[in-house]
Chain A
Amino acid sequence: MKRYILLAVALVSVAVYLFPLYWMYVTALKSGTEIFQYPPTFWPPHPQWNFRQVFLQHSMASYLWNSLVIAVGVTAITVVIGTGAAYSLARIRNRWTSVALFTVLMLQVLPSSLMVTPLFVAFNQMGLLATPRLAVTLAQAAKVLTLYIVICRSTFLQVPRELEEAALVDGNSRIGAFFRIIVPLARNGILVTSVLIFLQSFGEFVYSRSLISEKSLQTATVGLSEFVGPQINDWNGIMTYSAIYITPILIVFVLLQRRIVSGLTAGALK
């Protein structure tokens, strides 16, 4: 009996918590007049499928493409640079690696909105703002690289040291053992962390908003914030835009949810 009361309490809290998501989808399906009804309807009596129209009208293809380019670039840089560092920081314990790890942990906490001012000025002076998507990619990679290292390091800590030693005795060089034994064994952790980094970068806002001035190069978050604007009345259009944007993110998250959660918690508490 007690178990079912608990289940009921849990169901209610999930429903309350997920209401904003539900409201986004419901509003997206309502018509322009329906959304301004008061009291509001909690289920659209005449669902409207205006996804295609919003997608085309607000050049979402271009926005999403730019977000994708940046997210892919960030993920690539992070994986290439971060994987080896995470591995070495997991393997070796001495004064230097402690200093390096401390540096990584400290740089992890710098808020993007505060770092963007010096980055903007410096990139401007270096001429990097001529290629603004590259500028955003480089800045965002520095932001997520620390998180990637911290989470991947905890994955590498779980690979027994003897396996690498066995590989060395069997005839591998350090590089060979890394690519043929260590990386295949940490593959899941690396993959999940990369997905996480990818999703975060796909929703990046501060750097894109501040470093990209040309509309055709801007990302989906910036597109959404332009859409919202100061005088808003197209709420179902905005919610449709949001739904198109985040549904793929939610799908990926639901598919990998358990692994992402275990990766994140390991990274934060170890």
Chain B
Amino acid sequence: MTAFFRTFREGSGFDAVLILCAVAYLLVFSAFPLVYNVIMSFQSVDMFSITDFNRPWVGWQNYIDVINRPEAWLIVKNTAIFVLLSIVFQLGLGFGLALLFQQDFPAATFLRGLFLAGWIMPGLVVGTVWKWIFAGDFGVLNYVLNHLGIVTGKIFWLSDPAYSLYAVIIANIWLGIPFNMILLSVGLAAIPRDIYEAAELDGATAFQRFFSMTLPMMRATLGAVVSLGVILTLQQFDLIAGLTKGGPANSSNVAQYWSWQLSFETYEISAGSVIAVMMIAVVIVVATIYVRSTTNEQSA
């Protein structure tokens, strides 16, 4: 016993205890639910069997049922469009802003900092504010678009199934820009100045310098930012809850919201688990790529 106490105070036992405390907590509240989720996806779980420990085992039936639901493919398609467009525009706008604020002009750092206000705001509040901006009859967005002559008449962003998904995507791009911009700024700042000077002496134009220096040097950062962006976009829930709640008629629904709806609105818990399992698998694949690439970067 004293030996145990001693290694905790003086030796490697100290580190082991510190790490094990955190790992144990994560195992109980993260890893265990993860496994439990997989188990439930093979069981029949609903309102009545929710507290039972012995639930009927139904094998792959839940998966078959979910895939055969009429709305399934619409939601898969929505999720893909949601992720793809969010990433493309967040990255593009974020990169543009990162390059802008990389330039030398008065108050650059301060102004860049202002962009980050959107980052820390609760997603639900952001969704609510955008809901008001998108409002069909009195929304400021329709007014601005009409005023600038981009569209005529009013777009019912949130209630027209043709637009609802894009409304959600626009708000999500707004949320994601600061994150993309700041990570890309860090990447840009890490490129040594003198290689640009060398390239300039070699006769490269600003345009050529961007494509032959900046982009290749940013490859690792871009990879990290894209995978983190995918992960964060697949985590996005609050914004949808604040804006459209997946409607109308699932036109703006995405998988992570659908899973929750099934579990907590219609109490089809097995179906909710099935979607959660499939989505978590996707997220973990992306995360593995991300972790691999960053750790390789570190050891290289």
Contacts and interface: CB of A to CB of B under 8 A. Distances in A.
B291 to A, nearest CB: 5
Contacts of B90: none
Interface stretch (B75-83, B193-201, B269-277): B269-277
A24 B242 CA distance: 14
Interface stretch (B12-20, B57-65, B160-168): B12-20
Contact of B132 (A103, A174, A238, A269): A238
Please indicate which of the listed interface residues B17, B22, B128 has the most CB atoms of chain A within 10 Å of its own CB: B22
B106 A139 contact: no
A23 interface: yes
A239 B128 CA distance: 8
B221 interface: yes
B48 interface: no
Given A118-B273, A174-B9, A205-B241, A38 B143 contact: yes
B131 A174 contact: no
A39 interface: yes
B287 interface: yes
Given A10-B105, A35-B138, A113 B256 contact: yes
A197 B122 CA distance: 12
A130 interface: no
A250 B124 contact: no
A82 to B, nearest CB: 6
Chain B contact surface mostly: helix
Contacts of A258: 113
B122 A239 contact: no
Interface stretch (A44-52, A56-64, A220-228): A220-228
A248 B118 CA distance: 14
Nearest to B263: A117
Contacts of A97: 19
A175 interface: yes
Nearest to A176: B9
A166 interface: no
Interface in B226-245: 228, 231, 234-235, 237-238, 241-242
B287 A88 contact: no
A245 B120 CA distance: 13
B113 A209 contact: no
Interface in B43-73: 45, 50-51, 53
Nearest to A264: B182
B183 interface: yes
B19 A100 contact: yes
B129 interface: yes
A39 B182 CA distance: 36
B40 A118 contact: yes
A105 B22 contact: no
A253 B269 contact: no
B29 A203 contact: no
Contacts of A103: 23, 26, 31
A210 B264 contact: yes
A138 B29 contact: yes
B186 A39 contact: no
A36 B147 CA distance: 17
Interface string B83-127: 000000000000001001101111110010111111011111110
Nearest to A67: B122
Interface in B241-300: 241-242, 256-257, 259-260, 263-264, 269, 272-273, 275-276, 279-280, 283-284, 286-288, 291, 294, 298
A13 B125 CA distance: 22
A81 B225 CA distance: 28
Given A113-B257, A118-B34, A221 B238 contact: yes
A6 B100 contact: yes
A13 B263 contact: no
A253 B182 contact: no
Contacts of A72: none
Contacts of A89: 19
Contacts of B4: none
B242 A228 contact: yes
A7 B107 contact: yes
Interface of A: 2-4, 6-7, 9-11, 13-14, 17-18, 20-21, 23-24, 27, 35-40, 77, 81-82, 84-85, 87-89, 91-92, 96-97, 100, 102-122, 124-125, 138-139, 141-143, 145-146, 149, 173-175, 178, 199, 202-206, 209-210, 221, 224-225, 228, 235, 238-239, 242, 245-246, 249-250, 253-254, 257-258, 260-261, 264-265, 268-270
Given A125-B53, A270-B294, 9 more contacts: A14-B114, A35-B138, A84-B17, A85-B19, A102-B291, A109-B231, A138-B29, A146-B26, A245-B125
19 contacts: A3-B105, A9-B100, A35-B138, A85-B22, A103-B26, A107-B26, A107-B30, A109-B284, A110-B283, A111-B283, A115-B30, A117-B259, A117-B276, A118-B33, A146-B26, A202-B122, A209-B241, A228-B131, A246-B125
